Structure 1
Amino acid sequence: MIDRRDMLALSALGALVLGTASNADAAPVTPDHASLSLHGRQLHILDLTHRLTRAFAFTPGRLIMEAVEGSGMKAGMALNRISIVEHTGTHLDAPRHFAPDGASVGDIPVSQLIVPLVVIDIRDKVKTDRDARVEARDVIAWERRHGRIPSGSCVAMLSGWDPLSPFSSYASLTPAERRKSPGFDAAVMDILMKRDVRGIGVDTMSIDAGEAMPAFPVHQAWLRSGRWALEGLANLDRAPAAGGLLFAGVVPLENATGMPARVIALY
């Protein structure tokens, strides 16, 4: 677990820390996990990002990513042209996604993209209700066990859904089935705002529960308040419920309403 002093240091030195993950002192590395020694403490790096493929075309018939190999390049040079919808794969929703005058991806300060991580597990609820949501009682239960949600944090929902699994792949679901998927309850937004939460995240492809679409009440309330969201997160079941640090790496593209992200947890 990372204490407040370490969290401040890591926020300032995040790039350096991640760059040392492959040094001689680091533990064996797997594709989505590594560990390293920092000031005599063992820390874990966990990738919360799905590999970006065309499998994320969760709207049937809609092409959301196309990669074309470059042609006529000089010998030894490889170059692709990528065409992609902003909200593809593991990605960040900027306030502008639902607020025309809100901050774009390029407007979000980097200091707001390195934040404490809170993971709320609702997998038991999802077993009996595919429309299960993170509700006020879930937040209260988390705080009884771990203390008040840290200011400026990202609160992530762990539902057990995987955007690439047959169970939850939007491309394989009927319209009726797509209306049943876990998400946040709109009523809990006010509580999270009062906790000064900076972002929310989900392991599904929408912060709104499927039944709430297309009204998108969570998107409407959360993004219009100037906060961001992460969708399509991976490996949340391996992240700690409390004490972690989240890094959301996005290209600061001007006027972008969203952007595929490389999301990393450090704990």
Structure 2
Amino acid sequence: MSLPWTSADITTELSHPPNPGEGNGSATLQTELQRVHSELQDLQSKYDVQQQENSQLHSSVNQLLTNLNQLQTTAIQLQSNVAQLQAVVVSQNATISALDNQSPSSLHNRLSALESSHNASVRNLQSSFDSIQDHVAALDDVSVELKTTLSQSQDIQHKEMAIQGNVTDFLCEHFTHSNVSVTGNVTAGTAVIRGRDWTYGDQDGHDHVRGVVVNKTTPAGLVYVLWDNGLQNIYRVGYAGGYDLYYYYPDVLNKFRHVLCPN
């Protein structure tokens, strides 16, 4: 029968807690725990080493399996090659046997026929090759001629385009534009009418009457003009900045102005 605890007993117990280090039993337990802990560490190290060795062994086994598969594939290929060689040997043996059964003269005739056929084929091939080379050479000559002709044609086209452009510019400048002033160095026989700086009344007869430049010596920038009414006089074609004449344009050229010129 246990006695109940009193307040004094509880106070005394709390003020003097037990010391785990006291007594031989506590020291033995601590030592045992350290030993067990050390053994566990050793076991863990051995386990880690064993795991590493197992991993290496697993890799080695996989490599051996791969090598074994490659060896099996090689063995199958070798078996196939052996079968092919056996077939070739059988065929060669059959050929040798057939040749053995034939007489030397028959073999000679057969070889001669094969040689003749081969030589004929070679001659035919050589003839065909020579013919092809001739055709290629002819084609090369034709190609060179075509290139030359094409180059000449392109040059001609460029020249024609340049000439057409020059002719068009000339016509637009001198024949199809209205009110183009006559400048100096005009040749005799050029048809003119009264121009922008005209100050001579109806000396030409009336407006839009045609006159012709006369072949007379004049100072620079001046020309003589003979009008249809028979009168003639000297007029400015650049002299002192004056332009008394326009070129005369026939009506037939004026009708084609919109075709020849953009403006």
TM-score under structure 2 length normalisation = 0.21
TM-score under structure 1 length normalisation = 0.21
Higher relative contact order (CA 8 A, sep 6+): 1
The structure with more strand, counted as a fraction of residues: 1
The structure with more helix, counted as a fraction of residues: 2
Indicate the structure (1 or 2) with the bigger Cα radius of gyration: 2
